[in-house]
Structure formats: structure tokens, C-alpha cells
């Protein structure tokens, strides 16, 4: 029989996700609440802007106003990236432990071995998504989207459509790319 119980949180909840069978709540103040044999709280970003579960569901990734990316797994909090005083407003979990994050016009892909690849764009990066198969990254930006293969040196594919694209996702089979727009589209 399911149980419904209230959880009083002290800040705005940015994301809620299950890591394994444990519910996690990432708050704007940087606290991550975990309901695992009681109520536990971990500290991550100083001003959290986004949080997503890893593709394998083993950890929660967070990023924020402090320019840092963290991974939360159980009681452990690991810092994955630090861009200094730059806000990180977009975050995506990729295959094989890869993480993509963006600040301003630049997107970054951190591979599982710790190597980082920087991808520059003509306009601010608003959304990131990895394809369901392979290491392909989609970037939503003003006037379209860009598709990268960050593990190779090949040229990106530019998809142009006038307007402010602020989020992006692939279809589960990887055949379609969908963006949301600030405009009514």
C-alpha cells in the first residue's frame, strides 16, 4: 500500500528524482534532501539552478550559480567541475558517466576519465541533451540547435529555426530532436 507523507522543505525545489529507490529533492539553496532510512541532507551548490539524475540512475548531478557541478551518491558529494564565478544553467547526464554543462555561450562535456571538451556557440546555450545511443550532444540556443559528437573532432551539425530555443530532447529511438521555444512554438 503506498504511503503519502508531507516533506517540509525550506527552499524552492528545483528537481525531484529517484536515485535507485531513494527519493532526492534538490533545492535552490543547494541542499539535497534524501529520504533513505530517515531524512538526510547534503550540501552542494551555493545557489542551485539545475539537477538531473545520471543515465544509470546511480547519482544526482547538480549545477548552479557558484559555477560548480556536483555528483551526489549516497552520503558522498563529489565535485566534477568548477568554472569559477560563471553560472551553470544547463546540465545533462550522458552515457558512460559523461556530463554536459553550459555557461554563457560555451558547453562543456566531462568524460568519465575527467577529460573536458569545450564547445563554443554563437549565442547562449539554453538546453542540453544526450542522444539515447552513442555520444551525441544536442545544444539548444537562439535561432536553433547544434548537434555535436564531443568525442571526435568533427564539425557540428547546425539546425536553424528562428527564435529562442530554451530546451532540447531526443526521442527515445534517437530519430527526432525536439526543442521548446520562448515563442508559442
Residue 108 has which C-alpha cell?
Answer: 562543456
Residue 169 has which C-alpha cell?
Answer: 530532447
Smallest CA-to-CA distance from 182 within 163, 158, 162 is with: 163
**Residue-level pLDDT at 46:** 96
Mean pLDDT of 134-139: 95
Q: Give, in degrees to the nearest 5, the angle at Cα 173 between 167 and 178.
A: 20
Smallest CA-to-CA distance from 127 within 101, 157, 93, 150 is with: 101
The model's pTM is 0.94
Per-residue model confidence as pLDDT tens digits over 89-133: 999 999 999 999 999 999 999 999 999 999 999 999 999 999 998
Residue 53 has which C-alpha cell?
Answer: 539524475
Beta strands 90-93 and 99-103: pairing type? Answer: antiparallel
Per-residue model confidence as pLDDT tens digits over 137-185: 999 999 999 999 999 989 999 999 999 999 999 999 999 999 999 998 7
Amino acid at each position: 500500500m503506498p504511503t503519502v507523507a508531507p516533506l517540509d522543505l525550506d527552499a524552492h525545489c528545483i528537481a525531484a528524482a529517484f536515485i535507485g529507490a531513494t527519493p532526492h529533492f534538490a533545492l535552490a539553496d543547494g541542499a539535497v534532501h534524501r529520504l533513505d532510512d530517515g531524512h538526510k541532507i547534503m550540501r552542494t551548490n551555493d545557489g542551485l539552478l539545475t539537477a538531473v539524475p545520471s543515465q544509470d540512475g546511480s547519482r544526482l548531478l547538480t549545477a548552479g550559480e557558484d559555477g560548480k557541478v556536483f555528483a551526489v551518491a549516497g552520503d558522498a558529494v563529489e565535485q566534477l567541475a568548477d568554472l569559477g564565478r560563471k553560472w551553470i544553467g544547463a546540465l545533462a547526464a550522458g552515457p558512460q558517466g559523461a556530463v554536459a554543462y553550459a555557461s554563457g555561450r560555451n558547453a562543456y562535456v566531462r568524460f568519465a576519465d575527467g577529460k573536458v571538451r569545450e564547445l563554443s556557440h554563437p549565442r547562449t546555450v539554453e538546453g542540453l541533451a544526450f542522444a539515447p545511443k552513442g555520444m551525441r550532444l544536442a545544444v539548444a540556443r537562439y535561432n536553433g540547435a547544434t548537434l555535436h559528437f564531443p568525442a571526435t573532432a568533427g564539425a557540428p551539425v547546425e539546425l536553424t529555426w528562428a527564435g529562442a530555443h530554451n530546451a532540447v530532447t531526443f526521442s527515445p529511438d534517437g530519430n527526432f530532436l525536439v526543442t521548446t521555444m520562448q515563442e508559442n512554438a
